[in-house]
Chain A
């Protein structure tokens, strides 16, 4: 079979793929927002003095990290209704992917928090800061810069995992490419374009994350 790339077909399908790219970015962004916040909650919950909570959260994180994302997506979308939780593909997808990545981000935060020197905790006690102020004003701000690189990796990761949402019919990039392929019996152009679009977004993101990290460190005087 010869390599035959059709430029007119390429130009024809590009707008449709770019429109789907917007959906992909929204999915990745919303999922990441859930993961960033929930991940912090999970990381802090593992540090409470109440042992049962720590244990439950620890097991939850391990469970999420040890099972496939696609299974979790199916679970939320198809098994949820059996418990009366009926969600649209979009909502299910956001929840599943957000939950999944929150487990990974909680580990990033945990490492960042553990890296803050013990003396910082002691200084907080010495000036009698509350536990809340200790975390939110002293410990977390210092845990953040070393966590940014890891957070950036998972930002790219969540973006690259959005095609999995196509399995429950979320109209993201992969879903659009599959549809175009099926309609026209041509897969070379749509899949190649999908790959290029992912590359065009992932590569600069990694660089931007590094710049952001440097900026945060300078801003904090560290």
Chain B
């Protein structure tokens, strides 16, 4: 693959927070993402929707470096994430480079993935203390502030097994925010929740959108929620962006046949 076509760093006048450039992801012969090009501006909230198997979650997992990519380059804040410079060209990043770059990204998972042997507070303090090198007192102050933000401060000394799904997810959001990421990823964070607690998680995300200048990328099946809070919706179909645009346009007046089919199928299911 010719890497000379990819800049070592994006120019200052064309520097989105996230850029997928010709990104390919395949498992053997199965191509999950085919030449993906996607920019996300600083502070933008982008939601990815689409049928299952369309590669939505893979987009987030690649950005979190949970998956390696098979082609193209991902840039974060202008700098390559998946690659690093060596002798003037980009080569696949080593673990050290990935660790450095990964510090800008936070992620919340469908199944929360809180550490079960730690309390809510300890879950939030773990990264700041072990990775960022904050003192226990600083990390505690920061974590308590975030647990207050997500409405979980009164449960800070509980272990995850004592919390409901919605409560666990709110702690997980606080844990991710405690690392002060520039980009937050939400991977179907309400899919594993009982219907009556979905609101407590979506309200936290609404608050983040309203009060913080975070860049966010979200995969969700909550179409109403996506429509409310997103700046842009990307409809994925078979590993490509079939259609994208502001929520009002994409939901109100979809242009592509696939998009119309998907939206009407989802509407019926609601």
Q: Summarize A's interface: helix, strand, loop or mixed.
A: helix
A123 at the interface (CB under 8 A from B): yes
Given contacts A119-B111, A122-B109, A133-B130, contact A127 B175 (CB under 8 A): yes
**Chain A CB within 10 Å, residue with most, of B109, B117, B179:** B117
A142: B residues at CB distance < 8 A: 115-117
Complexed CA–CA distance, A221 and B118 (Å): 8
B126: A residues at CB distance < 8 A: 127, 129, 137
B202 at the interface (CB under 8 A from A): no
Interface size of A in residues (CB-CB distance below 8 Å): 19
B46 at the interface (CB under 8 A from A): no
Complexed CA–CA distance, A137 and B122 (Å): 11
User: Are A221 and B117 interface neighbours, CB within 8 A?
Assistant: yes
A110-168 residues at the B interface, CB under 8 angstroms: 117, 119-120, 122-123, 125-130, 133, 137-138, 141-142
Chain A residue at smallest Cβ distance from B130: A133
Q: Which residues of B contact A (CB under 8 A)?
A: 64-66, 99, 102-103, 105-107, 109, 111, 113-119, 126-127, 130-131, 159-162, 175-176, 179
A141: B residues at CB distance < 8 A: 117
User: Are A126 and B64 interface neighbours, CB within 8 A?
Assistant: yes
User: Are B131 and A127 interface neighbours, CB within 8 A?
Assistant: yes
User: Are B176 and A126 interface neighbours, CB within 8 A?
Assistant: yes
User: Are A137 and B130 interface neighbours, CB within 8 A?
Assistant: yes
Distance between A167 CB and nearest chain B CB, rounded to angstroms: 43
B179: A residues at CB distance < 8 A: 127-128
A130: B residues at CB distance < 8 A: 99, 130-131
Complexed CA–CA distance, A136 and B264 (Å): 49
